[in-house]
Amino acid sequence: MAEIIIICIAAFFTSILTFFSGFGLGTILMPVFALFFPVEVAIALTGVVHFSNNLFKMALVGKNTNKQVLLRFGIPAIFASFAGAWLLMQISGFQPLFSYHLGEKQFEVTPIKLVIAVLLFFFSLLEIIPRFQKIQFGKNKLMLGGVLSGFFGGLAGIQGALRSAFLIKAGLSKEAYIATGVVIASLVDITRLSVYVERFSTSGLHENVGLIVSAIASAVLGAIIGKKLLKKITLQFVQVFVAIMLILIALALGTGLI
């Protein structure tokens, strides 16, 4: 019961925060799932919530999608997402790199924890270091952006920061930029979830349907409130605060504490 409450609260507030923090729902929610599930399972379950939330957003803004940008960015993203998700499934079965004791408790550092920790740490820095925030790429780099965003989306569920850096200079209107990003994210989610499905069969997903439905409902409610109340707000404090929290979570993952 406690994990349902914690995950739902996280999904609700994270969904609101994503309207002005610059972070994606999956980037913040995945570490919360990782408190209760193995990292690779947490990524897969987060993908379900992320995809469901994107479907809701697509219903709101999908009609504004730029089809040309969608094809040039989205197709490479789909293939790269498959590769990233496949790699995740491979390294999730690796033995721990090392273990240690703190008091009577043993902690293990696995390859998958270390990889996700490094990625979380890196993408958190992208959000708070001014020089990184100004990085943008021209329209001629859309295919490259699709490959990078899709691969890291499949591997760790982290795709928003890279996708934004490449789409922001694609000459899109605000409406088309938001809609195209949502559709691309949904395509990546579909691809990676199709790879994760094998992991679902051994993760006891059927025993956690209530948790997943509750998290989805909380994220959708957060999206509705965020769209109505906070869509024009930019709060740098929140952005920095969340980035610092993610860095701390990355360090905890990398040291095997979670």
pLDDT, one tens digit for every residue, the chain (258 residues):
777 888 888 888 777 766 555 456 776 777 778 777 777 777 778 888 888 888 887 887 788 899 999 999 999 999 999 999 999 888 877 888 888 877 777 778 888 778 878 887 877 776 667 666 666 666 778 999 899 989 988 888 777 767 877 887 788 887 788 888 889 988 998 998 888 877 666 655 666 678 888 888 988 888 778 767 655 555 566 666 667 777 777 787 777 766
Q: How far apart, in whole angstroms, are the C-alpha atoms of residue 46 and residue 50?
A: 6
Could you tell me how far CA 24 lies from the centroid of its own chain? Answer: 6
Token pair, residue 176, equals: 């088309």
What pTM was computed for the model?
Answer: 0.74
Token pair, residue 1, equals: 């019961």
Q: Which residues contact 178 (CB under 8 A, 6 or more apart)?
A: 61, 64
CA-based end-to-end distance of the chain: 19
Token pair, residue 166, equals: 């490449």
Give me the residues paired with residue 155 across strands. none
Show me where the domains of the chain are located. 2-254
